[in-house]
Amino acid sequence: MRARRAAIAAATAVLLSAHPAAADTGGGLRMDQWGLDTVGAAEAWRQSEGSGVTVAVLDTGVRDDHPDLTDAVTHGDDTTGQDRDPGDPEYGDRGTRTAGLVAARGHGREHTGGVMGVAPDARILSVRVAADADDPKAGGVAEDAQARGVRSAVADGAQVIALTAGPVPKGARAGLSEAVGYARRNGVVVVQAAGPGAPKGALSVRSAAQGAAAGGGGLSAPGEQVETTKAGGGYGTASGNGAAAAFAAGTAALIRSAHPQLRPSQVAEAITKGADNGMLSAPGALDAAGATAKDVPAFDPDLADETEDSAILPAWAFWLAGGVLAVILATVGVFLLRRTTSNPYDLPPRADGSDGPEQRDPPRRRGRGRRRAASRR
C-alpha cells in the first residue's frame, strides 16, 4: 500500500505541476488539483496518508456511491430534523465535495483515475447538519444541528471533525462552543470554516484563491474553484471557507495518523506553525508535529484529560458519589446483620442459652442394625 501510494504521489507531483485544463470525465488522474499542489500533499504522503483516522464531515451529508470514495464513507446521524436519505437527489452535494477534498482516493487500477484528497487513506464519517441551498427543505434545519452533530461525531469515534456547514445562528453559538470543548476534552481535533460565530477552540481556516498570497493573519488554505468529487459520481469544484477547512482537516488526519499521541491543541499548533507565510503546508505541519511528538510518549495517559480544559465532572460530583456509596454499604450491612440474628419461625432458644433451634443428636439408622442382626443369624 505505501509503495503504491509513493508511486502515485510521485506521479501526482509531476502532473500537478503542469496545471493543464481537464474535462469532466472519470478517466485519468485529475491534473488540475492546484489545491493539492499548493499544500504539498504529494510530499506529505511520504510521511503519512491518514491511515486509521476517521474525519467527520459535518455538512449536508456525504454520498457513498462516488467511485473515488468507495468504502470510505460511513453514515452517522442526521441532526437537521429533516427526513432525508443518502439516496435522495437533494442529499449531500456540498458535503460530497467537501469529503472529496479530505479523503478522495481516486479509482481504477492502482487508484490512478479520478481525484485525490489530502488524506487518501482516511475514512469519512458523514454527519448531516445542514441542507444544500437548492434543497426545498433548506430553511427547516434545527438551530442546534451543528452542536448535536459534534457530540454525535465524538460518540461515533471521529478523531477529526470538519465543521464546514457555514455560519452559525446566533442562538446556537454558545451551544456549539460547548460541544467543541467537549470534543477537545475527548481528544478530537475540530477544524472550522472561518466566519461569523466560529466556536472557541476550533482551528479556523479561510479560503485563498489560486496563486494568491495568504496574508491578513490567521490560517489560509486553497478554497476557490478546487477540483473535487460531487454527488452523482462526477467531478466539480468547491469554493469558500468550507473548502479551505477541508484541506486543513485532511492535514490534521495526516498528523493524527503519524502521531496519535498528540493532543488536539498540539495538532492545531503544528498546523499553524508549519504554515508557509500563513498558507497551509501539509509537509510543514507534519514536520512541526514530529518535533513536538519527540517529547510526548507514544501513549499519553493524560490525552483524555486536557490540562487546558476543565474536567468533565466537577470535584463535588465525586464526593457526592462517595457519600451515596457509603450509605448503600451501611444499609446492606444492617440488613445482613438483622438477617443473621433474626428468628422468623419463632424457634425455641437453644439449651446453651443461644438463639436458634436446639441441636440434637442425629437419629439412629435402624435399617443398618437390622442388616447386622440378620447377618449374625
Largest Cα–Cα distance in the chain?
A: 122
| Residues near 132 by beta carbon (within 8 Å), at least 6 away in sequence | 60, 90, 92, 93, 94, 138
Distance CA(286)–CA(308), nearest Å, equals 23
Ordered by where they begin, the domains of the chain are 2-293 (3.40.50.200), 320-376 (no CATH)
Closest CA to 123 of 149, 167, 162: 162
pLDDT score, position 4: 45
SS3 181: helix
Q: What residue spans of 34-172 are helical by DSSP H?
A: 34-39, 41-44, 93-103, 145-155
Q: Is the dihedral of CA 176, 262, 205, 163 positive or negative?
A: negative
Distance set, CA 60 to CA 15, 129, 182, 198 (Å): 31, 6, 22, 18
pLDDT score, position 158: 99
**222 neighbors 210 (Cβ within 8 angstroms):** yes
Distance CA(97)–CA(85), nearest Å, equals 17
Closest CA to 82 of 154, 134, 130, 18: 130
pLDDT score, position 169: 87
SS3 31: coil
Over its length of 377 residues, how does the chain's per-residue pLDDT go in tens digits? 454 455 445 444 444 433 333 334 445 555 569 999 999 999 999 999 999 999 999 999 999 999 999 999 999 999 999 888 888 888 999 999 999 999 999 987 666 689 999 999 999 999 999 999 888 877 778 999 999 999 999 999 999 999 999 888 899 999 999 999 999 999 999 999 998 888 989 999 999 999 877 656 799 999 999 999 999 999 999 999 999 999 999 999 999 999 999 999 999 999 999 999 999 999 999 999 999 999 998 765 555 454 444 444 444 455 566 666 777 877 766 666 665 555 554 555 555 555 554 444 554 444 444 444 444 44
Beta bridge partners of 55: 124, 160
pLDDT score, position 342: 55
pTM of structure? 0.74
**223 neighbors 240 (Cβ within 8 angstroms):** yes
**130 neighbors 279 (Cβ within 8 angstroms):** no
| Helix (H) and strand (E) counts in the chain | 11, 11
Q: What residue spans of 120-223 are helical by DSSP H?
A: 145-155, 173-185
| Residues near 168 by beta carbon (within 8 Å), at least 6 away in sequence | 146, 176, 195, 196, 197, 198, 199
pLDDT score, position 20: 32
pLDDT score, position 109: 64
Return the residue matching grid coordinates 508557509.
276
pLDDT score, position 352: 53
pLDDT score, position 302: 55
Beta bridge partners of 219: 205
**117 neighbors 98 (Cβ within 8 angstroms):** no
Beta bridge partners of 114: 29
